[in-house]
Amino acid sequence: MFAAIITTLTLSVCAVGADKPVLIQSPSIQRVTEGHTAWFCCTISNIRPEDTDLHWYRKLPGQDMTTMELVSTHRAGGSTERVQGYSERFQSYRDTSNSSFTLTVTDVVHSDSAVYYCRVWGDIHGNGTQLIVTNPADDPVLVQDPPISKVPEGVTVQLHCALYNASVTVTDVQWYHQRPGNKNEWALSHFVNDSASRSGCISDRFQSYRNVVSNSYILTISNTSISDTAVYNCSVWSYIYGGGTQLNVTDEGGSSKVLASILVSILVLVLLFCILITTICYMKKWACFQQRLTPEGCSTEAMNTVYATVTAETKKKTQATTTVTASEESEMCYADIHFRQKKTAPKIKVTEETTEYAVIKRDQ
């Protein structure tokens, strides 16, 4: 008893100097089919969850805030207490890591339909969550299209989720994705007020739209990349899922670039090879041309006028070592004169009397 009094006094002192707690509930509306589980989340701020008691109430149709029923109480010490008449189907949990409380109702029945509120300090409560329990035959049906989509990187893709037995204007939708080798993860939510919330790992390339005419949701992914490859599922009422769309993003653009690079390299090699062959052909033609300009039996050095110019001293040495008859010398001079006349001057008829050969012959 004394310990309880001390705890109460401590809480009262803390409450006097602290700001009032703020309670935020989610979701605002939850539709659950009979036999399934409903859950209500209450996030608390401006006070630690372990420092206060939290109560769960429900307001049935026709009741007001003053007459609504207490369901259970989650004590600051961690224990829970259920009001008589509520079975173990109603369970309260506390998560101090994110300052939240959760109430779950398993195996729901139609009489569980109500608005559920979390409350602290007697008069501070959350915004409430409306639970609507439906018949199994009235469950929404989600049809996703296309079942498989294969696209290259950089394009924009649209994933459709058509809703039957419910309206998109009064139903929130959640999009999940499961990458290869990973578990199914929440990507983003599209709420009935047309606002959206994305996971921290999802960029603004992912956008959700609502088409009232076709009663469907559309997930748009722009500038797709390889990392977007996954199975995408739409979901409503927390447990109803579509068949999923397998999105495969391929690196076709990169393959095309590699192929184009290979083709360019091949073309460059072919061009260089053609240039090499052409150069060799021109070199051979030039060699043949030079060979045609050189008289038969004469070397290139002999055709060089500089090389052919001999000094007087060289002539003396040549005369000393070589015995040449006058007739042979005259014939060589004649041949040289005849060659030069043939290459440098027009064809002229030369008589024997006017040639150096004739003069030499007369001298002999």
CA distance 117 to 42: 9
Mean confidence (pLDDT) of the chain: 81
CA distances from 195 to 25, 173, 204 (A): 17, 11, 14
Q: What is the pLDDT of residue 353?
A: 54
Give domain limits for the chain: 15-137, 140-250, 309-363
Contact of 55 with 68, CB cutoff 8 Å: no
Query: Partners of 357 in the beta sheet?
Result: none
CATH of 15-137, one of 3.40.50.720, 2.60.200.20, 2.40.40.20, 2.60.40.10: 2.60.40.10
Q: What is the pLDDT of residue 285?
A: 79
**What topology is assigned to 140-250 in CATH?**
Immunoglobulin-like (2.60.40)
Mean pLDDT along residues 142-148: 93
**Backbone φ and ψ of 128, nearest 5°:** 90, 150
pTM: 0.45
CA distances from 84 to 58, 92, 198, 341, 352 (A): 14, 15, 41, 139, 154
Q: Do domains 15-137 and 140-250 have the same CATH topology?
A: yes
Residue 83: pLDDT over 70: yes
Amino acid symbol at 242: G
Residue 273: pLDDT over 60: yes
